[in-house]
Structure 1
Amino acid sequence: MIEPYRARALAAVPHGFLGRRGGVSTGILAGLNVGLGSSDDRAAIVENRRRAVGAVLPGASLVTVHQVHSAEAVIATGPFAEDARPHADALVTDRPGLLLGILTADCVPVLLADVQAGVVGAAHAGWKGALGGVTDATVAAMEKLGAQRDRIAAAIGPCIARTSYEVDDTFAARFEQADPANERFFTPGRSGHQQFDIEAYVLSRLAMAGIRTVEALGLDTYADPEAFFSFRRATHRGEPDYGREISLIGLPA
Structure 2
Amino acid sequence: MDAWQWQTWQGKSYLTCRLLDPFPHGFFTREFRPDSPLTLAQGLKADAVVYRTHQVHGNAIADTRSLTPIVEPSAKETLPQADGLLSDRSNESVWVCTADCTPVLIADRAQGRVAAIHSGWRGTAAKIVPEAIAQFWNRGSHSADLRVALGPAISGDVYQVSLDVAAQVGATLLPGNPNQEAEAMIAALSEFDDTPVLPDTEAGKVRLDVRRAILHQLYRLGLAPEQIAIAPHCTYQDTERFFSYRRTQKKYVQWSGIVT
Question: Does TM-score exceed 0.5, indicating one fold?
Answer: yes
Checking the alignment, whether the CA contact within 8 Å between 1:2 and 1:52 is kept in structure 2 is: no
Classify the secondary structure of the residue corresponding to 1:5: strand
Identify which of 150, 168, 185 aligns with 1:174.
168
Q: TM-score, normalised by structure 2?
A: 0.80
- State the TM-score, normalizing by the size of structure 1: 0.82
Given the superposition, is the C-alpha separation of residues 127 and 215 from structure 1 closer, same or farther in structure 2, using an over 3 Å criterion?
same
Q: Among the aligned pairs, what percent are the same residue?
A: 27
Q: Does residue 1:9 correspond to 2:16, yes or no? A: no
Secondary structure class of the residue paired with 2:222 = coil
Q: What whole-Å deviation, never above 9, does each CA across 1:126-166 have from its counterpart, x for those lacking one?
A: 10111111001111222333322221111000000012201
Deviation at 1:122, TM superposition (A): 1.1
Post-superposition shift, 1:173?
3.2
1:191 aligns with 2:202: yes
Identify the residue that residue 124 of structure 2 maps to in structure 1.
Answer: 130
Structure 2: any 5+ residue segments left out of the alignment?
1-10, 175-184
Residues matched between the structures, number: 224
CA distance in 2, matches of 1:166, 1:195: 4
Give the letter for the 1:185 counterpart: P
Given candidates 211, 218, 234, the residue that maps to 1:206 is 218
Alignment of 1:135-174 (within 5 A): 135-174=129-168
8 Å contact from structure 1 (residues 104, 245) kept in 2: yes
Separation in 2 of the partners of 1:114 and 1:92? Answer: 11
Partners of 1:177 and 1:144 in 2: how far apart? 25
Could you say which residue in structure 1 is the equivalent of 2:244? 230
How far the C-alpha of 1:171 sits from its partner, in A, is: 2.3
Q: Distance in 2 between matches of 1:61 and 1:173?
A: 39
Following superposition, the deviation at residue 48 of structure 1 comes to: 4.1
> Which residue is 1:246 aligned to?
255
Is 1:215 matched up with 2:229? Answer: yes
Matches of 1:204 and 1:196 in 2, distance apart? 13
Contact 2:169-2:213 at 8 Å conserved across structures: no
CA distance in 1, matches of 2:137, 2:167: 32
What is the CA–CA distance in structure 2 between the aligned matches of 1:185 and 1:199, rounded to whole Å? 8
Q: Deviations over 1:169-190 (max 9, x none)?
A: 3322334455244343211112
